[in-house]
Chains A and B, each alone.
Chain A
Amino acid sequence: MKKYQIMFTVAILLVFLWTAWEALGFAKQARFLPLYVSLVAIPLVIAQLFLEIKNKATNDSSANSAEDFNALKERMPALLVYMGWVLGYVLLIYLLGFLVATGIFLFAFLKRESGMTLVQTITGVVITLGFIVFFGRVLHMYWPEGILVRLIM
């Protein structure tokens, strides 16, 4: 866990170094906030990094955080699978448009992951799409169009 904490803190440090460097190139009026915030943050991130490295060296950690990390490690495969579902859904939206993608995503997810029966799944999908279309019209909402749909049209 500590290794990842240090890595994240280093990433934050790099971000602040970069924002400070970039801010030097801005006009005076635009430079004020980003430059000074970055300059204040950089020594603080270094202090945080120092604390984390010190904690790692002295192996100063609570039993709870070790337990949490182990639990997280166990859940990681499931997390990656669900992240895949989310990315797949986004890809489907890009290709087929929001409404069609939502129908396919919900049907597949409810059937495979939620263990719903076919009737329950179809009912859930139809009701959701009905709500989306209804509220979309009432609240004047917009959906992303699919690239394939645009090509065909």
Chain B
Amino acid sequence: MLEIALQALMILFDPARLIFMFIGIAVGLVIGFLPGLGGMVGMSILLPFIFGMDPYSGMAMLIGMAAVIHTSDTFPSVLIGMPGSSGAQATILDGYPLAQKGEASRALGAAFFSSMIGGIIGGVVLFLAIPVFRPLVLAFKSPELLMMSIMGLSMVGILAGNAPLKGILAGAFGLMLGAVGVAPAVPEYRYTFDILYLSAGVPLIVMALGLFAFPELLDLLAERRSIAKCATPTGSGILQGIRDAIREKWLILWSAGIGALVGFIPGLGGAVVNWVNYGAAMRFCKNSENFGKGDIRGVIAPESGNNAKEGGALIPALMFGIPGSGTTAILLGGLTLMGVHAGASMVTTELTLLMVIIWTLVLANIFGAAACILFSKVVARICQIPAQKLVPFILVILLIGSYQANRHWGDIIFFVIIGVLGWVMKHLDWPRPPLIIGFVLSTATERYLWISMSFHGFAWLTHPGVIIIGCFIIFLLWGGIKLKSKSQPQNIS
């Protein structure tokens, strides 16, 4: 396996692929420090551009982007007390008070260093998971794979926060949208209204861009969001912050471990990880009375955890094909676009690709943190750009991206239609990640259900693997709901 890991590193070091990784990192850094835009928006924006790429380059770009979002999302959290993404909420509690005391650079330095180490640990966890899960992945047949799809679908309730019923319904709606077009088992067109464009179904790219990116852009414009009150950090405190982080090395390791573990559980995203880590640090650190008033440990713990989460989250996504969040759902769609399927192939024929993903995760975290440290003054200035000057350019990119799905006018029309649907869902408190998970899992669920029923009838329900996974789903749902309710900010404070 080490030989394959080295081979993967050589593949990634091909200059053409490094460029794509750096493009991904740059996009991830920008998305991270723009409040309101998260991994799903970044993934949706980059997805159209992987057409025609080899899987190594495509994954280098997508993973490079996803890996660094939780590094740069610290900027708005520390500088203006607004989370850059849902995974940076807990950082505000101590990061912002530090900035108000004039120690913004120290907080940023500690956060970037912790993020980097956390991200590397996440990559190592993913690497170590391969020999553990490999025999399990290879033993799975259609009934077990169907149960894994159901496991992914069952997480939609958790993803919906305090509205699990809406989450389930959004997931079901996603399944139905995924059923549009030709049926997988028989040549029959479903819900196409005799529109030729819909015969192949709604493209994932159009779906993701419309559902996540379009509503955020519209709101950014309408809110006239300008974060001009940004305090520009001075460079002198960065090194002090790094020294603080090194001194708290055990806290970083502990938080990264929790981050990777929570990331592994589908449905619990960065929003949960950072609060769990903050709560654990506050509970177990000595002299914790300063937490919430500008304690540097309150920055280190959530920041190392939310970067480590990415490695953990990729285990169920890549090895079992279970997207635990909207971001991994779009990532799985991206893999399919490049002709690669998550699951058994990732630990057999596509092991090199899995290693490239791990290396990208590690390297992107290093380069991302280095870029944030080196260019913190410039980045702090970029986050002062008002939405009115930024959004028109992003809109152009979105339209280019959606048109690349089928190169058909329908792509643009459906982008706007789904965008409006996404905006309505957002403002009526209907969760959107369950919809995209249902959409992505629709074809696989239908295929495995059909194969299982054709070969085994209802007897597939009595397979030992199916029963074990069924029990595991119940356990995960119970644990997930419990963990999510405990990690609410009000419980911590």
Contacts and interface: CB of A to CB of B under 8 A. Distances in A.
Nearest to B442: A33
A59 interface: no
Nearest to A68: B427
B222 interface: yes
B404 interface: yes
B284 to A, nearest CB: 32
Contacts of A86: 218, 395, 416
B234 to A, nearest CB: 29
Interface in B411-452: 412-413, 416, 424, 427-430, 442, 445-446, 449-450
B169 A143 contact: no
A63 B185 CA distance: 50
A34 B174 CA distance: 11
B399 A41 contact: no
Contacts of A38: 172, 176
A130 interface: no
Highest count of chain A CB atoms <10 Å: which of B219, B395, B396, B428: B396
Interface of B: 49, 51-52, 165-166, 168-169, 172-173, 175-176, 179, 183, 185-186, 188, 190-191, 218-219, 221-224, 386, 388-389, 392-393, 395-396, 399-400, 403-404, 407, 409, 412-413, 416, 424, 427-430, 442, 445-446, 449-450, 453
Interface of A: 1, 4-5, 8, 12, 15-16, 19, 22-23, 26-27, 29-30, 32-34, 37-38, 40-41, 44-45, 47-48, 51, 65, 72, 75, 78-79, 82-83, 86-87, 89-90, 93-94, 98, 102, 105-106, 109-110, 113-116, 124, 128, 132, 139-144
30 contacts: A1-B428, A5-B428, A23-B190, A27-B188, A29-B188, A30-B186, A34-B176, A34-B179, A38-B176, A44-B168, A45-B169, A75-B219, A75-B223, A79-B222, A82-B221, A82-B222, A93-B399, A94-B409, A110-B389, A113-B388, A114-B389, A115-B388, A124-B393, A128-B393, A128-B396, A139-B51, A141-B404, A142-B403, A142-B404, A143-B403
B374 to A, nearest CB: 24
B385 to A, nearest CB: 10
Q: Which 4 interchain pairs have the tightest Cβ spacing? A: A30-B183, A29-B185, A29-B186, A30-B188
A88 B49 CA distance: 25
A65 B427 CA distance: 10
A33 B400 contact: no
Nearest to B173: A12
A41 B395 contact: no
B165 A82 contact: no
Contacts of A142: 403-404, 407
A59 B430 CA distance: 20
A48 to B, nearest CB: 5
Contact of A44 (B165, B403, B413): B165
Q: Which of B168, B427, B453 has most chain A Cβ within 10 Å?
A: B427
A83 B428 contact: no
Contacts of A128: 393, 396
A30 B388 contact: no
Nearest to B183: A30
A34 B191 CA distance: 10
Given A22-B191, A33-B445, A140-B52, A15 B412 contact: no
Given A90-B416, A109-B392, A144 B403 contact: yes
Contact of A8 (B386, B395, B412, B428): B428
Given A33-B179, A114-B392, A5 B190 contact: no
A116 B389 contact: yes
A69 B308 CA distance: 36
A48 B396 contact: no
B180 to A, nearest CB: 9
Contacts of B424: 8
A8 B392 CA distance: 30
Contacts of A98: 399-400, 403
A93 B413 CA distance: 12
Contacts of B412: 90, 93, 144
Contacts of A79: 218-219, 221-222
A88 to B, nearest CB: 12
A34 B386 CA distance: 44
B184 to A, nearest CB: 9
Contacts of B389: 110, 114, 116
A78 B392 contact: no
B123 to A, nearest CB: 28
Contacts of B427: 72
Contact of B190 (A22, A89, A90, A114): A22
A29 B165 contact: no
